[in-house]
Structure 1
Amino acid sequence: MRNDLKPARLSARDVLRVGAVGLRARRARVVLSALGIALGIATMVTVIGLSESSRSDLMAQLDRLGTNLLTAEAGEDREGNPLKLPKSAVAMVERIGPVQHATATAEVDARIRRSDLVPEERTAGVTTQAARTDLLTALGGEVDRGVWLDAASSRLPTTVLGSEAAKRLGITGTGETIMMNDTRVVVVGILEPIVLVPTLDRVALVGFPAAERYFGFDGHPTTVFERSTDASVEEVGAVLARTISPGHPGGVKVSRPSDALAAKAATDEGLTRLMLGLGGVALLVGGVGVANTMVISVLERRQEIGLRRALGATRQAIRLQFLTESLLLSALGGVSGALLGAAATYGFATVQGWTAVVPPWSLAGGLAATLLIGVVAGLYPAIRAARLHPTVALNAV
């Protein structure tokens, strides 16, 4: 009798084939178990993909709009009384070396109605502001319909409506008229939404000269907009209030509109972490489902295990068989979930008009997570199957 005989070892191909036998024999159960893993991975991939797509679109929008826009608004004095910016505020800002462009708007005391048949108190939530003719150039705004104010129209009773203001007043095109106080004003243009200064979407804009002539405007700007070189934004921001109001710089509030968009991106990151947590819970539930399926599989297949052990299969071979089966089951759910998540990301991003972004690391991380779950979920059932004695297993009913 030879003592140097060693048990044969299964090749990787044989291990995969043996592990797949259990999956093919119980297809309905496999699909349901893999579904839990797939939903968890799909949720995580979709959340990451949509977050990256939204952030990418936001950053691209910021690049187009620029982050070098600063605004200076009139504040209040120590007693809480409103202050006024000097009439020369724009000219003073233009003297700052790095400043490339400066313009302004101002609040105008003119109540807006759709027509003279509408009571004065029903303003539709639309306010009036005076604007300089170079406002759109500074803000990067565009006209959706009609034209912007020029040197001639800024002196006449004409207005350009913000996108939301036009909707609230029921204005669909140019040439229509609205009432500002008791003056009939012609709508010559409707703006596209202004992303950096969304408050302008809800106002009716008239020229500075027209505001002074028809509505008693005193010529003091309310908000000054300034663009400078990207490298000098912080420096300009530090001297802007002092330049506009040397005697009372504390009464001028300086802000950077692009900071609001950057804050939105930070808020999206917090929401992304929350959704990833929910995806992780779904993935955990899927892992429990895989473990449950494998435990039941071991109980149902004790005779098969006993027969293989009686024919010479080692405990290691049995353990490897069930561990491989668990990994294949998890991998099936992981791959399906990754594909489903990528498809959902591309579909939703396309509907929103975003550039779809699915980071490769999210797919790789999802698949790695499924393999880890497969190992953890299949380890106990595999060890339990390997410990079954051939005689006990063969006698199991």
Structure 2
Amino acid sequence: MSLRINSNIAAMNAYRNLSVNDKQMSSSLEKLSSGLRINRAADDAAGMSIAQGLTAQIGGLKVAGRNAQDGVNVVQTADGALNESAAILQRMRDLAVQSANGGSQDTNAQAAAQTEFGQLQSELDRIAKTTSFGGQKLLAVGTAGGAAYAGSFQVGANNTTDDRIDVTLDATVFGTAGTKASNTLTGTFSNALDGESITATLNGTGATVKLNNPTNLDDVVNQLNANNNFSSSFVATKSGADLKISSKVAANETIAVTSTASGLTAGTATAGTSGSTATGFDSAGLGVGSSVNLSNTANARNAIDSVDSAIKSLSTARAQLGAYQNRFEHTINNLNVQVENLSASKSAITDTDMADEMVKFTRSQILSQAGTAMLAQANQAPQSVLKLLG
């Protein structure tokens, strides 16, 4: 056995192993205390890169979920207001039916009904003007007669069209915007028209209805509106002693009305304007504005048709709102599932397996204690040289 004091190889070896074990124990302590397997890029460079991407995606999806919930809230706000508007229209229809009963309603009674009718029209206007969400009007006319409300909701983590849902409450879609094109037929509307046909054409596309022994103008109106091909694009009403046929939408249109009956004469076609005159979901936009009144029996009867059309338009609008809400809710569910699964994936990369790391820590702790003891022994070994010198 050789004894050297300048180079204590045993001590150097013990110190090196002790340093390695101490580093491993420190690393385990850091992971156990933080709960993270990756505390710095050096721990796992590739894993850190993947985890950062997942973190960004998870954060974006969480915010997107809140955005989608905002969409639900916007839709519910609009639907709540339209629900009250629908109740108002139902009351207006009741009043119109009451005033149309000319056999018992005198002018005083009709005037009283008209007073409430007018107040209800004003309330429709107020609801449309004041319903808002975060300062954005939901039911009033949009810029240049555009959609009453148009909003784009970011419901994804990325910048693509598939990560957005566009919500549009467009009064024009529901047939409430602009001045609807119309035309009139004048003549005698009686059973002399049996077998005769009336054709209405909108921008070259029309519908023909063959009359079946109509007794009067009311019967003609009813037969026209009962025809599905006709009622899909047109509505027939009385205009005094004339038959008025109007389109259901307003979009720069021209309507023509013809008849095979020689006794009926068509008026001049009227071009509808664009949506620039839209008034959203107020009384004018719904087609029950100031021109609709209960001042006399004839007007009250016409008001019934106008209110019916408004109720149909409003129901269509609310159905669309319901569809938007269901879509948003499915989107929220999907986002929550994505956040859960991506969080699990990130956890598998970045989080500490506490049981496994505790095993490593215990091993490093024992080796560190043993290494410290062996280093002390190695440092004592050269002292035996002193015996040789004595």
TM-score bucket of the superposed structures, by smaller chain: 0.3 to 0.5
TM-score computed with the length of structure 1 as normaliser: 0.37
